[in-house]
Amino acid sequence: MGDNSAIQWTDATWNPSTGCTKVSPGCRNCYAERLSTRLKRMGNPKYKNGFTFVLHQDALDVPLKWKQPRKIFVNSMSDLFHESMPDDFLVRCFEIMLKADWHRYQILTKRPEVMLRFAKQFGKIPDHIWLGTSVELDLYNHRIETLRQVNVKTRFVSFEPLLGPVGKVDLTGISWVIAGGESGPQFRPVNSEWIREIRDQCIDQETAFFFKQWGGRTPKSGGRDLDGREWNEFPDVTKKSPIAVFPTITGVRR
């Protein structure tokens, strides 16, 4: 999986690793696991191990080959902060992002505590790298608190697949929110009031809101219309953040 993406909020995907393990209810019907199984059946060598966590050394330099600036979703088929990710390989991924700095990188994890530990060693994350976490139920709102501690300009939260109301959330320091229902043959329906609750809090707290999908058997089954419009907001990246000196990232330990 590389190049152009069908995901509405990004331009391309880059997968220096593939495969993952389930950590919460949102993982139950994982689209990446389903797709990995299909690609394995099709004989794709990258997925010969199915959804087992695997590093792909030959994919590391992919962003350097894309000369036109893109929004790049990092590890759409895995989690960059998976517990099996070696420190040295994670460092190499960030070194590529530092080098190919004409792109904008979107990194999403269900393991923000690992992200935070790495970021504390790294220092201030450069502005062209966005860091986010997934929250599917109010039980996991604590991930937002962890993300807020990461020293990065653009933090984002993906409430997808949204499986229940998340209640009142503090979006202080959160630049962007994505929300959406689940898709796939065993999708769990989303309630429109759960989405509106998030949308309204984004408006009140001046956080950009992107509604990805209602979901269904396919991602496009229910469309994207919410109260008569599509919500396609992105964070304002024109705002300046303080200039920082970045420490070396070799020898990072979690």
Q: CB of 166 within 8 A of CB of 26? A: no
Phi then psi for residue 178, to 5 deg, are: -110, 140
Cβ count within 10 A of residue 3: 11
- The pLDDT assigned to 123 comes to 82
Residue 251 has pLDDT above 80, yes or no: no
Which tokens go with 50? Answer: 């199915």
Separation in Å, CA 31 to CA 27, 186, 202? 9, 11, 27
Rounded CA separation 194/170 (Å): 16
Cα 146 to Cα 105, 109, 150: the distances in Å are: 20, 12, 7
Q: Are 155 and 121 in contact (CB under 8 A)?
A: no
pLDDT in tens, 61-115: 999 999 999 999 999 999 999 999 999 999 999 999 999 999 999 999 999 999 9
pLDDT in tens, 8-32: 999 999 999 999 999 999 999 999 9
Class of domain 12-21+29-213: alpha beta
Spans of all domains in the chain: 12-21+29-213
pLDDT in tens, 34-72: 999 999 999 999 999 999 999 999 999 999 999 999 999
Look up tokens 């990232």; give the residue.
249
Q: DSSP secondary-structure letter at 110?
A: S
Structure tokens at 211: 């509604």
**Model pTM?**
0.93
